[in-house]
Amino acid sequence: MGFIKKVNIVGGGTAGLTTALILKSIHPKLKVQIIKSSKEKIVGVGEGSTPEWHEFLKIANINFRELIREAGATAKIGILFNDWNYINHQYTHSVLYDFPNKVLDYLILSNSNSPFPLSQYFESIYFKNKIPIITPEFESVKSYHFDTFKLNDFLIKKCKERGIIIKDYFIQNLNLNNKGEISSLQTLDNKIIEGDFFVDCTGFKRVLMSKLGAKWKSYKDNLPVSHAITFPTPLNPEKGIETYTTATALSSGWAWKIPTQSRYGNGYVFDSRYINEDNALDEINKHLNTNVEKVAKSIPFEAGKLNSLWIKNCVAIGLSGSFLEPLEAQSIGYGIRQATILANELYSYPFSKSVINNYNSRLDRVFNNVLNMVQIHYLTKRNDSKFWKEKPFNLTSFNKEKIELFSYGFIDYSNFDAAPHDLLFSPTNFYHVLQGMDIISKEKIQYKHKLLSSSESQLKEEYEDYIENHLHELERYSLYNPDIISMDHMEYLNLLKQS
């Protein structure tokens, strides 16, 4: 095999479209073709992203204003967690800056009376459905909420603008060469589609990878939930639009609420051993004060990933390669990380098959980072239902080994297997959630620094030095400044849509 000239991506959901745009942006001369079937429907009524979406926009040279204007997008500054640690308890996972441990320690000690000591602006701005204006370009966030269907249309439009070919075919089979590689795809009407490389973005069906011997590795013993129901509810513009996802713990799992510009996307992710779909629908109706009689989607799933994401001349990206659960909206981010690494390794593949092993082991480490992060959300004090009392999962070896260390705020990049630039969740992300869950406490931070013989005044000096030397002037000005300029979220969206 010589240089790869043509890549076929099977599947036209978010994973397939973002992968196509990333490949084409990094390799403009590469022929990229998407094969999608109009018979297959995309899943979702509302979707959230992680900061990897900002990375995708930069790679694909897409202006965030277009996204807001055409994809029904809203700003997402983080997640508000309700009732996770115990009933009526709240915390936030809202990371603007990747601060080192000592800075985070100082913020806890100096803001100990605040319910959100690490979450800038939450009380003063975000709870009021406002957005801070901290850049001249008005780009105040790196994550967004989307209307899934509008996002799909928008990404298809961008693909066509970039010369990415989109064909409507249903793939029913594939042909292999004498090396076991895919030589071509066969459509339902017996059309043959040839290519040098293939990407499986067919979701849980795994149309390509299932024929290449890929095996599913289950992680259901590490994560308890196994079923999701979703439905939309109306949004009242007079009450404003939240700038955050809301995740509320219920009796047998948790519910999400995602604001788009025109409606909410809602879902209940639960353990079907503890509650059935009908009772789950009743519970979330009560929680939302709605009377939805039928869910829009009912999705059983099993947390896990393929034993190999790259086999021969095919890579699985998106749900076809892995899925844990919706918590922390990490699935899209993981797919973007996969596609970016693939794009950077693609041209090396024909000349060194070791690229496959390196890719698989690298993405395994990223996957484990996501798994460990998602799992720590379930280390709660709740015991008011059978599900929360039994906590039916086993700790990952990483969490079993690290949680005690992490509980004192000793969280550093050296603790993680993946390279810092590969991690979806940094030490700061772990710190935020563990502090929100009261696993990291003010008392433990004080005890740690007593042992280290460092005072709060020393921490303050290190904090001020870090801010001075690592943040731009505008960022320094905005950090915990009560006079920061802010704007109503809906006015902000309307402004950007008009510009």
pLDDT tens, position by position, for the chain (499 residues)?
468 999 999 999 999 999 999 999 999 999 999 999 887 776 665 688 999 999 999 999 999 999 999 998 999 999 999 999 999 999 999 988 889 999 999 999 998 788 899 987 888 889 999 988 876 677 778 899 999 899 999 999 999 999 999 999 999 999 999 999 999 999 999 999 999 999 999 999 999 999 999 999 999 999 999 999 999 999 988 889 999 999 999 999 999 999 999 999 999 999 999 999 999 999 999 999 999 988 888 999 999 999 999 999 999 999 999 999 999 999 999 999 999 999 999 988 888 889 999 999 999 999 999 999 999 999 999 999 999 999 999 999 999 999 999 999 999 999 999 999 999 999 999 999 999 999 999 999 999 999 999 998 999 999 999 989 988 876 777 776 767 788 999 999 998 888 7
Both tokens of residue 270? Answer: 């639960």
What value does the CA radius of gyration of the chain take, rounded to a whole number of Å?
A: 23
Q: How far apart are CA 31 and CA 195, in angstroms?
A: 9
Helix axis angle for 442-451 and 101-110, nearest 10°, is 120
- Distances 195 to 32, 33, 164 between C-alpha atoms, Å: 10, 9, 14
For residues 254 and 252, what is the distance between their CA atoms, to the nearest angstrom? Answer: 7
The secondary structure of residue 429, as a DSSP letter, is H
| Cβ atoms within 10 Å, residue 383 | 12
* Whole-number Å distance between alpha carbons of 104 and 463: 9
Instruction: Give the other-Cβ count within 10 Å of 233's Cβ.
Output: 15
pLDDT at 44: 61
**Residue 189 has which token pair?**
């009407």
The β-bridge partners of 125 are none
CATH number of the 6-73+145-217+306-351 domain: 3.50.50.60
| Tokens matching residue 425 | 């969740």
3-state SS assignment for residue 217:
strand
| CA dist., res. 268 & res. 303, Å (int) | 16
User: Mutual orientation of helices 148-161 and 14-26 as an angle, nearest 10°?
Assistant: 30
Residue 482: the pLDDT is 65
